[in-house]
Amino acid sequence: MMLRFGRLALMLVLLVVLQTAVFPHVRVADVVPDLGLVAAVAIAVRYGPELGAIFGFVAGLASDVFLQTPLGLSALAFGLTAYFVGMLQQSLARPAWWMNPLVATTAGIVAGALYVGLGALVGQQQLFVLRSVRIILLAGVYDGVVALVIFPLAIAAARPRVPATIGGAGY
């Protein structure tokens, strides 16, 4: 158990470094992907909504530290998105690997919409503009692209020592 959380913590630090020090240099169409969200969604799809939501919350909190919006806003958006993706996945067959970008793109758009909507509710009205729609869509596509790398990485980092039973939450 400790080893698993150690791996997840290490991956979180790696994602924060990439998000804050590398991806600002490689903006595409002026957007960056949400690496923490993509990892949380991968974990939710593979290991269930609880672990996905907790990882999403912590990863969102780590993102919030480097943003101007209130601490907890990304955490809430990422945690809720991972939770609902995990819940939805449990009632469906596990997606094939080539579906991962589609799942990540959809999750990115949902998380972006939650971020903007919840942000406007807590006084961040500057987020509630037409420009945000373009950003959410483009960032969602970027999330889908990085999912090709982040999904296997996150699933490997969150793998329990005893293999998960078929249909179980896995932790």
Partner 1 sequence: MTGPGSHRRRNILILLILTSITLITLDTRGGNSGIGGRIRNTARDAFAPIQDGIDSALHPIENWWDGVTRSGDIKDENQRLRRELQQARGAATAGRNARRQIEELSKLASLPFAPTMPGVDAQIILGSPGNFESTVGLNKGSGQGLAPDMPVVSGEGLLGRLARVSRRRSTVLLLTDKDSAVGVRDVRTGDRGVLNGNPDSALQRLDSIDVKALVKAGDELVTVGSAEGPYPPDIPVGRIVAVEHPPGALAARITVRLYADANHTEYVRVLQYPVTP
Smallest distance, partner 1 to C-beta of residue 144, A: 15
- For partner 1, the closer of residues 75 and 103 by Cβ is 75
- Whether the CB-CB separation of 42 and 150 falls below 8 Å is answered with yes
- Whether the CB-CB separation of 94 and 50 falls below 8 Å is answered with no
Smallest distance, partner 1 to C-beta of residue 125, A: 9
Burial of 131 (0-12, 13-18, 19+ CB in 10 A): exposed
Smallest distance, partner 1 to C-beta of residue 54, A: 7
Smallest distance, partner 1 to C-beta of residue 63, A: 7
- Gap between the Cα atoms of 169 and 18, Å rounded: 29
Q: Which of 54, 48, 22, 46 is nearest to 35 (CA)?
A: 22
Q: Which of 3, 36, 62 is nearest to 150 (CA)?
A: 36
- For partner 1, the closer of residues 16 and 145 by Cβ is 16
Question: Which residues contact partner 1 (rule: CB under 8 A)?
Answer: 16-17, 19-25, 27, 31-32, 49-50, 53-54, 57, 61-63, 65-73, 75-76, 79-80, 83, 87, 112, 115-116, 119, 122-123, 126-127, 129, 131-132, 135, 139, 169
